[in-house]
Amino acid sequence: MTALIRPAHLDDIDDLLVLENSSFETDKLSRRSFRHWLTTEHCALLVAELAQQIVGYILVIYHPGTRLARVYSLAILQVFRGQGIAKQLIIAGEKAASEGGRLYLRLEVSIDNIAAIQLYEGLGFQKFGIYRGYYEDHKDALRYQKRIRYFADVLQHRSVHWLKQTTPFTCGPAALMMAMHGLDRQYHPSREEEINLWREATTIFMTSGHGGCHPIGLALAAKRRGFQVKVWINKTDTLFIDGVRNDEKKQVVELVDACFKREAAEQGIPIHYANITQNDLIAAFKAGAIPLILISTFSLDRKKAPHWVVMSGFDDDCLYMHDSDPEEGRQNELDCQFIPVAREDFDRMSCFGKNRLRTAVIVLPESKKANKVSES
């Protein structure tokens, strides 16, 4: 049975709600949610029609600033199931995501939904994880992924467990905890440790609110915990001072910057005052390191804020990141793991501010590999 697949419109909302309520007992999309997705550019919401009746839909959302898409929801009217409509919608969703420049399409499916699992696997989706207690009824979800623009290279990634930051200002500590745990399973992240790391690495002041984390401050914190580190910064002057308008606060930021640099010299932490390249990051990752990278959030949320992420893999076309800060109401933590950032987009994302600050902290355990990376 071949259905007409077309983009959904605002006047389809009533039919979509009927379809939604007849298909799901939990995790339902509301009228407000449908209206939101129908008026945003970061998704594809497609419906399947038979005899001018909407019998199914698929919602594919795009992760801003990256090459990742995700099947957020898929529903078919009960009487039309098993007739190939879901397959048609998924293929159409893949096509829309590919045309939107996405490289990967991901989805989650209940562990006991055998028919859907068989459909996804038959369409080339590969299982890459499990999420415990994912649904409102606490059922587990299997995670599937498909590369919708095929390239021959295989993703190279390290087992980096994702962590969510617990405050609006601790992206640096969350990224550092992910890296340290990825390198040493004996290291145990905690909320207390998150706050302690921030206290050790903070710049005290920024444009407003709590100060962010200085790359050398993060490196010093990692060094105290037994990890080998090196820092790349493309500026020799005081970091993060441009947005601080109060002269007294500027003096404090300058003092913190100078203290961090002096202590790094005393601790023998190498600081490379140069632009770190994608090749540098990949070489460090191959040699056993896990890099922390400062990005601007402009491509993600248009807010131009400095934000720390951790590198979790790479291939010929993308660098992959763990982001500790899901956007509330729009993303869940699955959207923030192994985020593919296309090579041509990465350099634009990984610089911050008018002075185009580019900085990274390379973290390695104390080992011969660490010496190899620190000397590169």
**Do 65 and 201 belong together in one domain?**
no
CA 234, chain centre distance (Å)? 24
Position 328 confidence tier, pLDDT thresholds 50, 70, 90 = confident
**Do 294 and 225 belong together in one domain?**
yes
Is residue 124 packed enough to be buried (19+ CB in 10 Å), middle (13-18) or exposed (0-12)?
middle
Position 305 confidence tier, pLDDT thresholds 50, 70, 90 = confident
Bridge partners for 130 per DSSP: 142
pTM of the model: 0.68
What percent of the chain is predicted at pLDDT more than 90? 62
Residues 6+ apart with CB under 8 A from 374: 228, 230, 270, 362, 364
> What average pLDDT is seen over the chain?
88
**Do 51 and 119 belong together in one domain?**
yes
Q: Residue 334: its pLDDT value, please?
A: 72
**Do 122 and 204 belong together in one domain?**
no
Q: How far apart are CA 197 and CA 184, in angstroms?
A: 17
**Do 55 and 189 belong together in one domain?**
no
**Do 129 and 166 belong together in one domain?**
no
**Do 219 and 140 belong together in one domain?**
no
**174 pLDDT more than 90:** yes
Q: Mind listing the pLDDT tens digit for each residue in 190-235?
A: 999 999 999 999 998 876 667 789 999 999 999 999 999 999 999 9
Beta pairing, strands 141-147 & 126-131: antiparallel
Burial readout 254-267 (b: 16 or more C-beta within 10 A, e: otherwise):
eebbeebbeebeee
Q: Residue 367: its pLDDT value, please?
A: 53
**Token pair listed for 72:** 């957020």
**Token pair listed for 77:** 């009217």
Tally of domains in the chain? 2
Angle between the 215-224 and 247-267 helix axes, to the nearest 10 degrees? Answer: 40
Provide the CATH number for the domain around residue 222: 3.90.70.10
**Do 91 and 164 belong together in one domain?**
no
Angle between the 191-201 and 171-183 helix axes, to the nearest 10 degrees? Answer: 110
Q: How far apart are CA 65 and CA 50, in angstroms?
A: 36
Domain boundary among 100, 119, 150: 150
Q: Residue 162: its pLDDT value, please?
A: 93
Give the amino acid at 373.
V
Q: How far apart are CA 47 and CA 323, in angstroms?
A: 32
**How many Cβ atoms are within 10 Å of 160's Cβ, its own excluded?**
22
CA 78, chain centre distance (Å)? 35
Domain boundary among 90, 121, 150: 150
Residues 6+ apart with CB under 8 A from 41: none
Provide the CATH number for the domain around residue 66: 3.40.630.30
The domain of 228 spans 157-374
**Do 333 and 187 belong together in one domain?**
yes
Q: Mind listing the pLDDT tens digit for each residue in 178-194?
A: 999 999 999 999 999 99
**Do 191 and 283 belong together in one domain?**
yes
Give the amino acid at 47.
V
Closest Cα partner for 342 from 314, 316, 317? 317
- Do 322 and 334 touch, CB atoms closer than 8 A? no
**374 pLDDT more than 50:** no
Domain boundary among 112, 134, 150: 150
**Do 93 and 161 belong together in one domain?**
no
Q: How far apart are CA 259 and CA 73, in angstroms?
A: 51
**331 pLDDT more than 70:** no
**12 pLDDT more than 90:** yes
Q: How far apart are CA 347 and CA 349, in angstroms?
A: 5
**Do 87 and 102 belong together in one domain?**
yes
Q: How far apart are CA 21 and CA 43, in angstroms?
A: 21
